Chains A and B, each alone.
Chain A
Amino acid sequence: MEGASEPLLDAKSGVTNQLIDFQWKLGMAVSSDSCRSLKYPYVAVMLKMADPSGQVKNKSFEMTIPQFQNFYRQFKEIAAVIETV
């Protein structure tokens, strides 16, 4: 993620986790131990976060396409609200 260096006056950096990096990939599952023939697209997200003490943690999750579309819609709404602030 491009360095968006927050000013140290940010009150939250001592309380919540900070997002350091947001990686994603689009994949297609073609076979699994429970189902041999699949055509299942998904979005995988890997977040890199630092907790208030500075320790870096990775968290990853997957979304189906409908789940991702819902996910995307949330961010569109957030962006829209920010415009009005």
Chain B
Amino acid sequence: MLAGENCLPAKMLLDLSEEHREHLAFLPQVDSAVVAEFGRIAVEFLRRGSNPKIYEGAARKLNVSSDTVQHGVEGLTYLLTESSKLMISELDFQDSVFVLGFSEELNKLLLQLYLDNRREIRTILSELAPDLPSYHSLEWRLDVQLASRSLRQQIKPAVTIKLHLNQNGDHNTKVLQTDPATLLHLVQQLEQALEEMKTNHCRRVVRNIK
């Protein structure tokens, strides 16, 4: 495929397992308002984590077991996350849901839930990718070493750096020490890396990904 060539995306249908379909089968048994509410709960759970108490409250109001409610919400959540993850088209979403045999009204509601929430769901899913430690901040100190166990009467300059890193929400630090010449070399290497981004080769690659 040549870069930049326009091509139609292949048909992408969701593969819904037997168990998944059973869980979703609860949805046509309740009001659209309830399904919309389940949709809201599903997205909220994706944002902040699930809260089992919500299931119990809903189960009491709907007069069903809290397991049924939980499966319904989880089934809906999975439907939304899988669709968002793959970024399937409207048509493919409709065709995937069609096999469930729901009413036209329910199908439209589910499609709307997908379209309304998929950007945000994709943002949440992007944060789940494994994380390397990343730069948070840096503290530095310029020292002069005056003596050590092996050598007295010195004047040796050194730079001590405390690197603050973030990883998966955790904060940790690394303390490093080097001499000014090595620090200069480090700075030159980093500047060279930044310069690379301006080369024609890099610009071409980035342009084609967009």
Task: Name the segment of B47-55, B135-143, B184-192 touching the other chain.
Answer: B135-143
| A28/B146 in contact, CB under 8 A | yes
Task: Name the segment of A8-16, A19-27, A65-73, A76-84 touching the other chain.
Answer: A19-27
Q: CA A30 – CA B143 in complex, angstroms?
A: 6
Q: CA A27 – CA B148 in complex, angstroms?
A: 9
Contacts of A41 in B (CB 8 A): 146
Q: CA A41 – CA B141 in complex, angstroms?
A: 12
Q: CA A30 – CA B142 in complex, angstroms?
A: 6
* Number of chain A residues close to chain B: CB under 8 A: 15
A55 within 8 A of B: no
| B139/A26 in contact, CB under 8 A | no
| A23/B148 in contact, CB under 8 A | yes
* Number of chain B residues close to chain A: CB under 8 A: 14
Q: Which of B140, B144, B148, B149 contacts A28 (CB 8 A)?
A: B144
B145 within 8 A of A: yes
B147 within 8 A of A: yes
Contacts of B149 in A (CB 8 A): 22-25
| B147/A25 in contact, CB under 8 A | yes
Contacts of A64 in B (CB 8 A): none
CB distance from B162 to the nearest CB of A (A): 9
A34 within 8 A of B: yes
CB distance from A27 to the nearest CB of B (A): 5
Q: Quick one: closest A residue to B157, CB to CB? A: A30
| A31/B148 in contact, CB under 8 A | no
| B145/A27 in contact, CB under 8 A | yes
Q: CA A25 – CA B154 in complex, angstroms?
A: 10
| B146/A33 in contact, CB under 8 A | no
Contacts of B140 in A (CB 8 A): 32-33
Q: CA A24 – CA B145 in complex, angstroms?
A: 11
| B145/A25 in contact, CB under 8 A | yes
Q: CA A29 – CA B140 in complex, angstroms?
A: 10
| Residues of B bordering A, CB below 8 Å | 138-149, 158, 175
What would 26 A/B residue contacts be, using CB atoms closer than 8 Å? A23-B148, A23-B149, A24-B148, A24-B149, A25-B147, A25-B148, A25-B149, A26-B148, A27-B143, A27-B145, A27-B146, A27-B158, A28-B143, A28-B144, A29-B142, A29-B143, A30-B142, A30-B143, A31-B141, A32-B139, A32-B140, A32-B141, A32-B142, A33-B139, A33-B140, A41-B146
